[in-house]
Structure 1
C-alpha cells in the first residue's frame, strides 16, 4: 500500500510539473496570432470572426475552408460576434485573424487608428437596405421626410443610405430628427408602435418588416450611387505574414458563394435555421442579392472614400481619413 501511495505521489508531481510547463508555453505565445506559420506558432489554427446571417455563414457551413486549410496543415476556429464593430475589435486586438463586417465598421476603425486591412469585398447589394414608412402614413416620398423622426443604427449602412436619399432631394440631415437605436429589433418595435415615423434598416430585418407589415420603401428602385458592400478584413500582422492564407480564405469564400448562387433554396433553409427567422423572409433577402467576392479595386476604394467623407461631415468620425491606406490593391 505504501508503494502504491508513493507511486501515486510521483504521478501527481509529474502531472503538476507538466501542467506548469504547458502554462508557461501558452504564456510565451499569448501575443502570437493563431494563424501564423512557422515563424513562431505551432498551433496552426486560423481564427475567423463572423456574425449570424452574413455571407461567411455559408462558408462556415460548407466545409470548403476546412478542406482547403487541412491540405496546408491548418484548422479553423469560428468565433461568433454580435455585430461588425465587435468583429473589427477582435481583429485589432488579435483575437481573430480574419473577419467579415460592414463598410461603416472599417471606416470607424480607421478613424480610431485601429490597424486592420481590407482584403476583399462582397458583391454590391444595394437592395439590401431601405427606408420604410407605413403604407397609411402621409409620407409618400423622401421629400415628405422633413420634420419626421427617422430611426437608424448610428453609422450603419442604412443610416448612410438615408443621408444620401435626403441629399438627393435637396434636404439636409438637420431637416429630420434622428432617433438612434441600439439594434434592429428595437428599430422594428419603435416603428410598429409609431414611436418613429420612418425606419431605415437592412436585410434580413428589412425583408421581415416588408413581409409582416404594410409598408412602402421610399428608396426602392432609386440609385444613390451606394453599392452597400460588406468587406473581408484581416488582422494587419496576419495579412503581412500569411498572404497566401488570406488568398486561400477568399478563394474558399468565393467557391461557397458560387454554390450559394446556384442553390438559393438550400441557402434559405440554412440561414433560416441559423437565425430562427421564417424562410419566406430569408428568401426575400436572398433572392435580391448575388453572392461573390471582389478584390479591392479603385472603384471600391472610391465608394468607400465617399462614405468616409460623409461620416466625417456628419461627425460620425473625428477626422478625415484616406481609406486607401487600409485598402491595398492586389
Structure 2
C-alpha cells in the first residue's frame, strides 16, 4: 500500500509565533554580540601600556627584573613594554615621535632635542656625577692634552651629555667641534673603534668609562666641573596624567634599585652582569664613580637645566633659547 505524506498545515497563529520568535532570536544575537564587543572594548581600555625606553647596559635592568613591580602593575591593569635602544639620544628621539612614554637619559639630551609635540616633561633626577665621564685615548696615542685633539677623529654620541662635555672641554683649549673630525657613534661601537684605531679618541660616560679603563685606555686629564652630568627621568605628559599611579610605582622601583646599589653593591653588580655586557668588577667601578638616589625635580634643578640651554646656545649647539619651565610637570612647579 502506497504511503501518502500528509502536508503539515500551519495555523496562522503558529506562523505569527514563529516570526516573533525569529525576530526575538535575531535581536538577542545582536544584543549579545554587542555586549561581548563592549566587554572586550572595556577590557582593552582598562589595560594600559607604558613603553619604557632603555639601553642594554643600564641600571634600569634592576627595575626590569623586578617581578614584584610587574605583578603590582598587572593587578592595576597596566603593562610595561621595555624597548631597547643603542643610546640615550635614540631613546629621546623615539619619545619625540611618540614611540616611548618613559625613560632615563642624560640631562643634556632633552636640552638638545626637545620638540613641542608630543609634550615630554622632566619627572625626577639622579645626583650630579661630573667625574663619571671622560675623553679616552689608546695607551700609545700621541694625544697627551686637549690641544692635541685638533684635526683628530673623536667619537661620541650625538646630542648626548658627552657631546656637550666634549664641546666644553675643547673650549678650554681654545678649540671647538669644528676643529676636530666628529664621528657620531654609540658608546659600545666607540670602544671597538678606539681599540681598532678607526678613531683617535672617544668621549663616553658610565658604564662605558669603566669599560674603557678596564680595557687599558687612558683618560685625558681635564676638569669635568662644567657639567653636572645627571641622569634625568622624563615622561610623556599625557601618560602621566592618565596613569600617574603606575608611573609613581615605577619611580618607587627605581628608588628601590638605587637603594640596592648603595647597600648591596655586589648583589646589584651580580644581577646587572647577567643582564648586560658589563662585568661584575666594571659595575663595582661604576658604583664607585657615581652617586645614586632619585629626587623629584625642584627649583634648583630647573635653574640648572636652564643653564644647559644657555650654554648650548653659547656653544652654538642649539639655535635658540627656550624656557625649561615649559617642560616641568605641574606638580613639580608647585613644590
- 1:140 is paired with a residue whose SS is coil
Answer whether contact 1:226 1:303 (CA < 8 A) is retained.
Answer: no
Q: Is the 8 A contact 1:48 1:76 kept in 2?
A: no
Q: Does 1:149 align with 2:153?
A: yes
Deviation at 1:121, TM superposition (A): 0.9
Deviation digits for residues 276-307 of structure 1 (CA, Å, limit 9, x no counterpart): 33323233223322221011122222332232
Deviations 1:56-115 (A, max 9, x none): 2212223353355467x2443231221334433554555443222222332244246541
Structure 1 contact 168–224 (Cα < 8 Å) conserved: no
CA deviation after TM superposition for structure 1 residue 52, in Å: 1.9
Could you state the TM-score of these two structures normalised by the residue count of structure 1? 0.77
TM-score, with normalisation over the residues of structure 2?
Answer: 0.76
- Of 177, 181, 187, which aligns to 2:180? 177
Structure-2 change in CA distance of 1:326 and 1:75 (3 Å): same
Residue in 1 that maps onto 2:13: none
Deviation at 1:43, TM superposition (A): 1.0
2:121 and 2:234 in contact (8 A); partners too: yes
How many residues were matched structurally?
300
The question of 1:59 aligning with 2:60 is answered: no
Deviation of 1:193 (Å): 3.0
> SS at the partner of 1:261?
helix
CA-based RMSD: 3.3
In the alignment, is residue 168 of structure 1 matched against residue 180 of structure 2?
no
Conservation of the 8 A alpha-carbon contact between 2:136 and 2:201 = yes
Q: CA deviation at 1:152?
A: 1.5
Structure whose alpha-carbon radius of gyration is higher: 2
* 1:160 CA displacement: 1.2
* Structure 1 residue 323 displacement after superposition: 1.7
Structure 1: segments with no counterpart, 5+ residues: 1-13, 35-40
The residue number in structure 2 matching 1:213 is: 216
